Chain A
Amino acid sequence: MKKVISILWLFLIASLHGVEVTAELSADTVPAGQGVILQVTVEGGSPQGPPVLPAVKDLIVNSRGASQQMRMINGDVTRSIVFSFVVGSNQAGNYEIPAITVRIAGKDYATQPLKLKVGASPNAAPAGMDEEKKTETPGKYGHLGFRMVAKDRKHVYPGEIAPVKIQAYFPIDAQVSLRSMPRPEGSAFTLHNLSEEPSQSTEVINGQRFLVVTWFGGLSATKAGVYPASLRITGTVAVRDDTAQRRPSAFNDPLFGRSLLNNFFAPMVQKDVELTTENPLSIEVRELPKDGRPGDFTGAIGEFEFQSVNIPNSLKTGEPCQIETVVKGSGNFALLSAPQPLPNGDWKTYRGSDDFVPTDVASFGGTKTFRYNAIPLLPGEPEVALGFSYFDPEKGEYREIKSSTGKIVITGEVVKSTDFAEAKQPKNPQPDVPQLAPLAKDLGAVTSYEPLSAARWFTPVVVGCGLLSLAILGTGWWKSREVDPAKEVRKAHELALREAVEAADKAVSQGDAAAFFLSAKSAVQLGIAERVGIKPEAVTLADLDGEDEAIADILVEADRVDYSGEMASTKDLMTWKSKLEESLVNLETKRKQQAA
């Protein structure tokens, strides 16, 4: 209750202050199709209703509601009410918003007039844009476009393969998965040699950017008449669903109230779509004229010429020769037959082989190489040329093409064409389309999707094996650390030997023969004892069978010095020392050999 009374007091105090009404635009300039915020602020009074904005031609105004603010500065309480509007226009130009009137306590208060400049839309189509594209704005999921490559061509002839350009337009942010290649609707046309890998590019149409997929191919008519060249393509297109999270539009205009973030967070909506050509081009299919049709016309329509001709220049009647010629140009090469030698009646020709090498992705232009056998029937030195005919669709007339002539020497007698059997007709080639692998004939074993790793025992077994291995290695290592008597004996022996040798060395340096021989005898005994496997002190001369003589000499001399007390010279001791070292090396070598 106290709060309510306080608020009433505040309102009362506020009403005592002066009233002020102002209007402000968030920006003076705005592109067409976008809006700025217009705020009408009322301070120090309570308006009886929202301000009414005067109507301005082409100016769109939509209310965004009102908000209240209350400020207290040095005890002064100021209350303000802000009315917000979005103002904009789809038409570029300079606009003036007249004074806006607000009625407060029976009195009208007016704002200052405002000026707003509406510029061109940033998404507007650039000048000089293709008129055809301007008029055809793709739908939400795209559309299909089609045109003849030859400008101004609106007619074709049956059998002609007219090059066409097919373009599918999709929204730039769409994810597209095509299910089929473009196909003509109806039975009037067929598409040939459609490029397998269409090119991709982007285009701006009516201010929107689109992904454009382009195919080239050949359009062929099946019957005379005028037919719409309508194409169809199916696929899956995923686009962002702008309607899912967009706020209500300020102007009920799709351009307003749309933000980048709204678009970014909008979910993808995927649809199976079937795109068709809108306003398809009507194409007249004209019959091929009967007048002037050459006798050797085989249905070739386009534009062709000889690239090369190869005929042997020395022949004999009745004997076949190979003729090779290359024709280049553009059109329905499939119906172009091998050029025949002229004059016709002088030759018997056979069906040969041909190779076509396209020079464009749609296989419309290229070169066709013909190779076939021909038999000259008449002897002489005729000027021979090759010839063929085709229909020129641009000029609407038949044309007969003749290669350059060359003189050929033909020897032999006159022969009749009936003397030769007809050549075997080659089999029709099988269509070169991928086929399924042949059926499996053997049932084979039953398998399981369930791998061993999914079995309950798998992990314990694998882990168990790992642990067992570690346990074995650990045990082995532990065992290896235990005392090995043999090793200990070997160590003790090596130590004793080393001490004896050191003592002998010391005795030599002191000239003490008795000490030297005592140590030398001990060292030799140690060496022999380890190898023989007896105690060192038990080694006698009898155990030296097969040993070096130097060892026996050392032992004998040691006994002699011991018993006689004779002193050897220092020089002699050095000699005995060398003998001792040599003996010990030999003993060690023998020990290692024995151990191995």
Chain B
Amino acid sequence: MKTIKLITLGFLLLGGLVQGADFKQANAAYAAGKYSEAAKSYEEILKADGPHISVLRNVGSAYYQMGENGKAILAFERALVLTPRDPDLLANLKLAQDQVAVYPVAEGSAWQSFLERYSTRAWSKIALVTAMLLPFAALAWCFRKGKERIGIGMFAAANLTMLALAFAGLDARSGEYKRGIIIGKPATVRISPFEKADDRGTLGEGREVTLGQETSGYFWVTADGGRQEGWVAADEVVPVVPERKMN
């Protein structure tokens, strides 16, 4: 059993070293102005290793330099799903959006902004930790008497508040699984999910849409708060969260 663990650990370490080397090579290609080559290398790392914030940031920059602003916006948005407050990513995203005249929707209330400051992962960790602390608080409450209970009560109240906040945060971010970015230049919106169906218009590169069901290689998309709806080919619109789950 120990041998298997050691072998697995060895493979993981080796894989990490290999990806690290690839990452440096991709960065070197970027620095040399070979943006297409760099983007390809970054994409390979992402495919082999999973999402790295650093790789998503760099691949977004590479696409931006190539003029692939839709893909650049997608990469920056994906990185922001993992780390929503990264100022470099936010600045890069704005640059790319400005290039294709995609203006983000005005920010919501301060409460909504606060809830969206943290990623889904962060909120779910907070929810888990606070939930696991609750039984301990309950035990302490039972075993302590008198004034000692005041402190325990305050701790439990704070814990419950954090738990409620975490659930509100998870709820606020529940829509990110339906977010999609147009990478077509532009993407054609059709009335039915097949190529020869009439078009209802186009959606510009980099535009954010809400994804619906996927059928026959087409996504049902909604844009502009429902003013524009239709089917867009799956190679022209990409979910922000790749492993999205449809309701």
Contact = CB atoms under 8 A, between A and B. Distances in A.
Interface of A: 175, 177-180, 235-236, 238, 267-272, 434-454, 458, 461-462, 465-466, 468-470, 472-473, 475-476, 479
A445 B124 contact: no
Contact of A447 (B23, B82, B128): B82
Given A177-B101, A473-B142, A447 B202 contact: no
A444 B227 contact: no
B44 interface: no
Interface of A is mostly: mixed
A415 B169 CA distance: 77
Contacts of A440: 53-55, 57-58
Q: Kindly name the residue among B20, B57, B123 whose own CB sees the greatest number of chain A CB atoms within 10 A.
A: B57
Interface of B is mostly: helix
A452 B54 contact: no
B243 A462 contact: no
Given A236-B186, A466-B131, A175 B53 contact: no
Nearest to B185: A272
Nearest to A465: B131
Nearest to A435: B95
Contact of A452 (B98, B102, B124, B143): B124
23 contacts: A177-B102, A177-B204, A179-B204, A180-B101, A236-B204, A436-B65, A437-B57, A437-B88, A440-B58, A441-B54, A443-B23, A446-B51, A446-B52, A447-B82, A448-B121, A449-B51, A450-B243, A451-B124, A468-B135, A469-B137, A470-B138, A473-B142, A476-B141
A268 B227 CA distance: 8
A229 to B, nearest CB: 24
Contacts of A445: 52
A469 B136 CA distance: 8
A90 B54 CA distance: 67
B40 interface: no
A151 to B, nearest CB: 33
A454 B127 CA distance: 12
B61 A436 contact: yes
A424 B9 CA distance: 61
A144 to B, nearest CB: 16
Contacts of A439: 27, 30-31, 57-58, 61
Contact of B134 (A269, A442, A465): A465
Interface of B: 16, 19-20, 23, 27, 30-31, 45, 49-55, 57-58, 61, 64-65, 78, 81-82, 88-89, 91-92, 95, 98, 100-103, 119-121, 123-125, 127-128, 131-132, 134-135, 137-139, 141-143, 170, 186, 189, 200-204, 224, 227-228, 241-243, 245
B141 A452 contact: no
B131 A453 contact: no
Contacts of A271: 201-202
Q: Kindly name the residue among B65, B100, B124 whose own CB sees the greatest number of chain A CB atoms within 10 A.
A: B124
A444 B141 contact: no
Contact of A448 (B27, B50, B61, B189): B50
Contact of A451 (B120, B141, B202): B120
A434 B123 contact: no
Contact of A453 (B16, B103, B170, B201): B170
Nearest to B205: A179
A434 B141 CA distance: 57
A585 B171 CA distance: 61
Given A272-B186, A446-B49, A468-B138, 13 more contacts: A269-B201, A436-B65, A437-B92, A438-B88, A439-B31, A449-B243, A451-B119, A452-B124, A453-B120, A461-B128, A469-B138, A473-B142, A476-B141
A442 B201 CA distance: 43
Contacts of B134: 465-466, 468-469
A235 B101 contact: yes
A274 to B, nearest CB: 13
A443 B124 contact: no
Given A436-B64, A447-B82, A453-B124, A267 B202 contact: no
Nearest to A443: B23
